[in-house]
Amino acid sequence: MSDDRAAEEPHSARVLDDTRNTWWNDDFLTLVAARTGLDQCSRVLDVGCGQGHFTRKIAALVRRPFEIVGVDREPRWVSIATQRAGSFLARAGLDGTLRFIEGTAEALPFESGTFDAVTCQTVLMHLRDPAKALDEFARVLRPGGLVFAAEPNNYGALQRMAHRSPGKSLADALAYIEVFARVIEGKRALGEGDNALGAKLPALFARFRDTKFFTTDRTFLMAPPYETDAEQLAIERLRDRVARGESGWSRRDVSRYWIAGGGDPTRVDEAYGRLLEREREELSAIDRGEHAELSAIVHFIASGRT
C-alpha cells in the first residue's frame, strides 16, 4: 500500500485483524465479568466494535438470552462483524442476538436508558474527548447500569527493550524510545487520542460509583519454535508490515506526531527508519529461530456504575 493510500485509510485498518482474538484469556474474562456484574447483564452495547472481536468475547460472558448491539463508525467493519455474527452464534451455541450498526461513541444513536451495560475495547484512547464519550455511555444506560472499558498503556511496550538485539547499544535503544515516546506525545498534542490512556482510567471513571480496575493476565510470548496461534498471527502481521516497508504507524502519521511531539523536523526520515529497522531486525531473528521474548500486555479494564 502506498503512503498516499495509507493516508486515506483509518488507523483501524492497520490494527484490526484476528490477533485480537488472542488478547484475552477466556477464564480471566469470565472472572472479571463475575466481579463487575457484567455476567448479570443481558442488553449490552459494545462501542467501537470494529469487526466484532471483543463483541463476540462479551457474548460468552453475559446473561442469556442476550441482545448485544455493536456500533462502529466504519461501515466496512460493521459489514464484516455482521457477516461473522451468525456463524459465531451457531458455532458457540449461545442463546442471544448480535447486531451491528454505524454510529460514533460521542453521539450514540440510541434512546436514554436503553442498555444494562456499555462496553468498549481500545476506543477511548483514540478520542479527542473520552469524557464526552463516557457521558454518552452513561446516558444510554438504565439507572445503575454498568460501564466496562478495556484500554492500554502503550508505554508498557518499552519493556521490550529488555529484548533488544545483540550488538545494539543502549544509545540505539534510547534513540528508539525517543521516537516511540514522541509519537505518543505528538498524537496527544494534536488531540487525536492518547495511547497511554489506560493509566488514566481512574480519573476518567471518577464520575461513576462502585469502580473496579483490573489488568489482563495475558503475556506476549515469542519464542522458538513459534508454534502457538498467537505467535503465528503476530509473525504473519509482522512479515506483512516488513514486506510493505511500514511500521505499526503510517509514515505520514509518524511525521506529524514526531513533529507535534517536539521532534526535529529534519529527522523525520531517521525517526521512521528506526521503527522500520526494529521490525526488520525482529523478523530476521525470528526467521533464524533466535528471537525470544516474554512481555506483559499492559491492558487495563475499568468498570463503574451510573
Digit-coded pLDDT (tens) for 165-192: 777 788 888 899 999 999 999 999 999 9
Residue pLDDT, tens place only, 33-82:
999 999 999 999 999 999 999 999 999 999 999 999 999 999 999 999 99
pLDDT at 159: 83
Question: If DSSP codes are grouped into helix, strand and coil, which group holds residue 188?
Answer: helix
CA 26-30-34 angle, to 5 degrees, is 170
74 vs 10: CA distance, rounded Å: 9
Angle at 233 between CA 93 and CA 7, to 5 degrees: 105
The predicted model scores a pTM of 0.92
Residue 8 pLDDT greater than 70, yes or no: no
- Averaged over 218-237, what is the pLDDT? 94
pLDDT confidence of residue 296: 86
Q: Is the pLDDT of residue 270 over 50?
A: yes
Grid cell in block for residue 263: 521532534
Residue 250 CA to residue 252 CA, distance in Å, equals 5
Give the pLDDT score at 2. 44
Asked if residues 272 and 263 have their Cβ atoms less than 8 Å apart, the reply is no
**How far is the CA of 3 from the CAs of 53, 172, 190, 195, 246, in angstroms?**
27, 26, 20, 22, 9
Phi and psi at 11, nearest 5°, equal -55, -35
Residue 50 three-state SS: coil
The rounded Cα 270 to chain-centroid distance in angstroms is 27
Domain residue spans of the chain:
8-153+196-219+298-305, 156-186+224-290
Quote the pLDDT of residue 199: 96
204: left (phi over 0), alpha (psi -120 to 50) or beta: alpha
C-alpha cell of residue 196: 497511554
The pLDDT value given to residue 4: 45
For the cut 80, the answer to whether the pLDDT of residue 15 exceeds it is no
Q: What is the pLDDT of residue 12?
A: 63
pLDDT band at 5 (very low <50, low <70, confident <90, very high): very low
Does residue 207 contact residue 138 with C-beta atoms inside 8 Å? yes
Phi-psi region of 37 (alpha: psi -120 to 50; beta: other; left: phi over 0): left
Instruction: List all residues 6 or more positions away from 86 whose beta carbon is below 8 Å from its beta carbon.
Output: none
Q: Domain 8-153+196-219+298-305: which topology?
A: Rossmann fold (3.40.50)
> Does the pLDDT at position 86 exceed 70?
yes
% pLDDT > 70, the chain? 94
> How many angstroms separate the CA atoms of 82 and 184, rounded?
33
Query: Band of the pLDDT at 10, cuts 50, 70, 90?
Result: low
Q: Tell me: pLDDT of 127 over 90.
A: yes
Contact 146, 116 (CB under 8 A): yes
Contact 88, 120 (CB under 8 A): no
Lowest mean pLDDT among 9-18, 68-77, 246-255, 288-297: 9-18
Residue 21 has pLDDT above 90, yes or no: no
Mean pLDDT of 148-169: 84
User: Which of 60, 54, 44, 68 minimizes the C-alpha distance to 12?
Assistant: 54
Copy the grid coordinates of residue 214. Answer: 483490573
Judge whether 32 and 265 are in contact, CB under 8 Å: no
